[in-house]
Structure 1
């Protein structure tokens, strides 16, 4: 058995996970007698959980079964309610929008392995792939999910800010101006909350690693719903644009390159495809209004992920410079704030 991990003890899987894997295998008519027959491969790029691909051969050896195992990151329960996230996962799956949940164990879960490739940072700038993502986002935003359909963004940021204040040293509290961030959140909420904004079920973390594409059918699958909630769709589009500045598979995965942020023409094209994907024919004025709203919601994104980075530096053991990531998000917020709010 090959294991590349910080989460698993080398050469040994948790007993609860073994039980789930045997159960999943049995449901497919397989028998896993020897755990040594498993091949365990760590998948890189995740910053909240640890993710693994686990393979085993069928009896006749003609087929290799594959599942995805997600080990929950330490301390990440401060960001979201795990039970709520599981319910979201199951509901999205029932809508045919993502992988099936195959089993759960105390420290994680087993998911259906999607036979598609995870996108790369460069893929987000590919016009053909970007158009497919835009259409899939519109489809995702119209999912009818259970529970209240209220905007969750502002309350979540305030909850996270309280958590950050409780964790941070006085030095970090001063550096990141945590004592005044509450005022910034309230100001943004007042400036960005408008009746004309469409609210939908948003992914809220649409980086390239959470998007998969079947090379044959060119179909897009959005995965990983830990941060999903109802929000203005402008916030989700802004999140996706901001993620174009990131490459989590580089030698410096925490460094953001805003020269790769999409230019106005790219943003207009994306929004136009997003709006027309359901058969609507928006006017240029409608497209431009959404583009403007999206650009302003980048500010909320910078605050959101800046606070996330501060907390993650204290609670998450994944090898990632969360604090430097937070510095860059707050710097970008300050850099763009006046221009965007005055526009």
Structure 2
């Protein structure tokens, strides 16, 4: 990874005015069609690299190799290896945005955040941007699986890393974005029309009046918790966690949905992701597992000194905002069902998330109200 940093020497950067959003990071107006096969895609990726990085402009195409790293349910990641004239190889990650993702993702906010998070030691370094993606440093690590996240040692490492992440300050407004995002998703999700009759039949069974009432009720309840506002990842699923076992290093990647938000939402959303894409919520962490996580989050170097009061407070906060995670990503799923060409049951995803929301609501509301009655004299 250190070698790759050299490609950004000032005199070697591509000519042309950089994107204002990325403070001198090289930019290109080229696009790469994500639907192409890797052999078909390679010449376009090579052209992009030569356009972005001047020092490679005269290299023969045989000096470049391209392979797929992963294909999630939003983006496509490619590993590009470049054999330089001196025989050394530079590895890069090229991330192609999923089609239509700008409909739900604020790319300007993401690009700004990446630079500050990278400077603080999070994620991959940003080397270049292009019309439908970005080029970043290559991370030598494996992507976690859902089962990894609940392993006590890794859970502690994730908690400590998240504590550090939440200390990073990103310039700009600090208002929490949770309810703005949920309402934005609600408005878009509630006005869809599907060409496919079966999808439309399922879609019209959604009671958006009921969903709106749930949003209103949950927003009111969480407002009493006074949860700290931090710069949150908001999408800390296993696919956005990478681990290098040999070096003992953990990485957070992909800050597409990052924003200032409530601490409890980021943690509760992470716990929901223990269920994986299959949404097996029997895997949601137990209270004992959550307390283990909280100790390392609240006092990374003195986990056994966290008070019971602080553990209980964060438990209530997390498991109330966990409900908001279901509403947020459920509505997101409806939008994706309409706009995404990726083969994933996004409509089903909404129903899995909303069903789990309704299943957990009474318990979480009761716990939160009892806590607020005891600690703040609210909901007696």
Q: Is the 8 A contact 1:272 1:287 kept in 2?
A: yes
Specify the alignment match of 1:267 in structure 2: 290
Question: C-alpha separation between the residues in 1 aligned to 2:70 and 2:140?
Answer: 17
Change (3 A) 1:80 1:25: closer
1:257 aligned onto 2:280:
yes
1:313 aligned onto 2:337:
yes
Specify the alignment match of 1:146 in structure 2: 171
Specify the alignment match of 1:120 in structure 2: 145
1:21 aligned onto 2:49:
yes
* TM-score for the superposition, normalised by structure 1: 0.89
Instruction: Give the alignment of 1:89-128 within 5 angstroms.
Output: 89-128=114-153
Change (3 A) 1:206 1:45: farther
Q: Which moved more, 1:89-98 or 1:236-245?
A: 89-98
- Listed one character per residue, the Cα deviations across residues 167-197 of structure 1 (whole Å, up to 9, x for unaligned) are 2446344322223322211111001123531
1:229 aligned onto 2:259:
yes
Specify the alignment match of 1:217 in structure 2: 247
Aligned pair partner of 1:52 in 66, 78, 85: 78
> Unaligned stretches of 5+ in structure 2?
1-32, 195-199, 368-380
Question: C-alpha separation between the residues in 2 aligned to 1:315 and 1:341?
Answer: 34
Change (3 A) 1:231 1:10: closer
Aligned to 2:201, the other structure's residue is in SS state: helix
Deviation of 1:50 (Å)? 1.3
1:184 aligned onto 2:210:
no
Deviation of 1:153 (Å)? 0.4
* TM-score for the superposition, normalised by structure 2: 0.80
Question: C-alpha separation between the residues in 2 aligned to 1:241 and 1:13?
Answer: 37
**Which of these two proteins has the greater Rg computed from alpha carbons?**
2
Change (3 A) 1:43 1:175: farther
Deviation of 1:135 (Å)? 0.2
Aligned residues: 329
Aligned pair partner of 2:204 in 174, 186, 202: 174
Q: Which moved more, 1:86-95 or 1:51-60?
A: 51-60
Specify the alignment match of 1:292 in structure 2: 316
Specify the alignment match of 2:352 in structure 1: 328
Question: C-alpha separation between the residues in 2 aligned to 1:11 and 1:203?
Answer: 34
Specify the alignment match of 2:17 in structure 1: none
Specify the alignment match of 1:303 in structure 2: 327
Change (3 A) 1:68 1:261: same
1:11 aligned onto 2:34:
no
Change (3 A) 1:45 1:298: farther
Q: Is the 8 A contact 1:7 1:50 kept in 2?
A: no
> Unaligned stretches of 5+ in structure 1?
247-253
Cα RMSD for the two superposed structures:
2.2
Q: Which moved more, 1:66-75 or 1:276-285?
A: 276-285
Change (3 A) 1:108 1:204: same
Q: Is the 8 A contact 1:7 1:71 kept in 2?
A: no
